[in-house]
Structure 1
Amino acid sequence: MKEFAIYTGLRLLLFVAAVGVVLGVWALLSDSVNLLVALVAALVISGVGSYFLLNGPREALARTIDERARRATAKFDEMRAKEDAE
């Protein structure tokens, strides 16, 4: 679960950074800031950015999930074979 915490933390950090950048640029260019539009823009920016910037942590998380699924499937198959033998 370490990979999950790392990936989630990095996604949140990227989103907060995007919110800061969007709000900062918007405040420099305009007198008033529409918070909802700024949050949506930051969400889109951080989503696209995470696709490129967080590829390594996402791959590590996917490998961990795949390993867990394989172990669970193997255990399930073992239990089913044991039950069939009885």
Structure 2
Amino acid sequence: MSAFWKYTLARLGLFVACFAVFFVVLSLFFKTDETLVLLAALGGLLTSALLSFFVLRGLRDDLARQVSDRAANMSRRIEESRRAEDVD
């Protein structure tokens, strides 16, 4: 599985877990309605973003390395193509 999908699924899983925690905690104190779901989603989003900065550092570094390698490879191929055109 590529680093992109690992990181994306890890972010999504972290959000779902944070959302579930916020939803359960808020539903203990308030009646369940659209506002509660929205607050749980907002809390889950903010918390998962903060946690992912620390928890998913390794996956994010792998993704950045993969993107960097692809960009370098693409630049190399473009430069090789440019040199081949200049030879004619």
Within-5 A mapping of 1:67-82: 67-82=69-84
Corresponding residue number in structure 1 for 2:3:
3
Over the matched positions of the two proteins, sequence identity in percent amounts to 36
Corresponding residue number in structure 1 for 2:52:
50
Tell me by how many angstroms 1:38 deviates: 1.4
Cα distance in 2, alignment partners of residues 32 and 15 from structure 1: 20
Amino acid at match of 2:44: A
Cα distance in 1, alignment partners of residues 31 and 75 from structure 2: 58
Q: Greater CA deviation, 28-37 or 47-56? A: 28-37
Question: Structure 1 regions of 5+ residues with no counterpart?
Answer: none
Q: TM-score, normalised by structure 1?
A: 0.92
Match of 2:37 among 35, 38, 48: 35
Cα distance in 1, alignment partners of residues 77 and 32 from structure 2: 59
Cα distance in 1, alignment partners of residues 20 and 47 from structure 2: 12
Cα distance in 1, alignment partners of residues 28 and 75 from structure 2: 55
After TM superposition, where is structure 1 displaced by more than 2 Å over at least 4 residues in a row?
Answer: 29-33
User: RMSD between aligned alpha carbons?
Assistant: 1.2
Q: TM-score, normalised by structure 2?
A: 0.90
Tell me by how many angstroms 1:54 deviates: 0.2
Cα distance in 2, alignment partners of residues 36 and 28 from structure 1: 16
